Amino acid sequence: MIKKVYRRLVPEKLRLKVHIELRKLKSIFLAGNTYYCPCCEKSFSRFLPKGNGLETRPNAVCPGCGSLERSRLLYLYLKNETRIFQDQPAILHFAPEDALKKFFKDHLNYIDADINPNLATHRVDITEIPFPDAYFDFIICSHVLGHIPDEQKAVSELYRVLRSGGTLFLLSLMEPQAAKTKEDETLKTPEQKLAAYGEKDLMRLYGNDLAERLQSPDVQIEIIDYRTRFSAEERQRFSLGDGKRELIYKITRV
């Protein structure tokens, strides 16, 4: 009841600021060296948990910068394996994570975008991207596609605005043991979707057929489990997840 009243009375943008300040306050009491965040380069005795009402992931959120497992792993991949932080490439970043966004603040050709204007500088519908064909060198789309009702229209738009030789980095919540994506249009309520998909606003839970769903004559797809590049000790210290949220689909426009 208190949460409902709070959300009704306090604007979303202010709630987000309060959430960030509370997280930073907690970080003061978590001094230590057990966990390390490569995004903010700070160490803590533990990370903060992340829960959705169905499960709670311990040590998921960096108290310093708010990065999640997938954000830390993607940052490490982009830093070590790409040139995205060099030169001045044209970058489109959907649902921009603050922990990653800060690295692009000096990029003149960086567009952070979201359908929710409180979450990004540019309000953009992923199914109607307001940019010309072949405009971007890189696109980051992490944990967005599974929430979009018209998946194929979104994919088509992402490919349309990607330059030849450009790369789209796509991540999503997945069920690694499932051969096929779970998608049930009869599921309407947040509670039903949470029970079936693991998140309240997902439209589908991807299985190992995601690459097939993304396939097009115009692209080449590589599936990267970048966690395997690190030792078990590093994966634990950086908290790089269990593979359900962290697989990187590297999609290159040919």
Q: In whole angstroms, what is the distance from residue 176 CA to residue 19 CA?
A: 32
With 0-12 CB in 10 A as exposed, 13-18 as middle and 19+ as buried, what is 22? Answer: exposed
CA dihedral (38, 39, 41, 42) in degrees, to 10, reads: -100
Q: In whole angstroms, what is the distance from residue 94 CA to residue 156 CA?
A: 15
- Only one residue has tokens 């998946």, namely 151
Find residue 195's DSSP bridge partners.
none
pLDDT in tens, 164-209: 999 999 999 999 999 999 999 999 999 999 999 999 999 999 999 9
130 membership: H or E segment, kind and range:
none
Delimit the domains of the chain by residue range.
2-61, 69-253
Contact 50, 60 (CB under 8 A): yes
Structure tokens at 1: 């009841």
pLDDT averaged per 10 residues in sequence order, the chain, 254 residues: 71 86 94 97 98 92 97 98 94 97 92 96 98 98 98 98 98 96 96 95 97 97 98 98 97 98
- The pLDDT, as a whole number, for residue 149 is 97
- The pLDDT, as a whole number, for residue 1 is 67
Find residue 67's DSSP bridge partners.
none
- The pLDDT, as a whole number, for residue 6 is 66
- The pLDDT, as a whole number, for residue 54 is 85
> Which residues lie closer than 8 Å to 93 by C-beta, 6 or more apart?
100, 101, 104, 110, 111, 112, 113, 139, 140
Structure tokens at 48: 């903060």
What is the β-pairing status of strands 219-224 and 248-253? antiparallel
Question: What CATH number is given for 69-253 in this structure?
Answer: 3.40.50.150
For residue 176, the tally of other CB atoms under 10 A from its CB is: 12
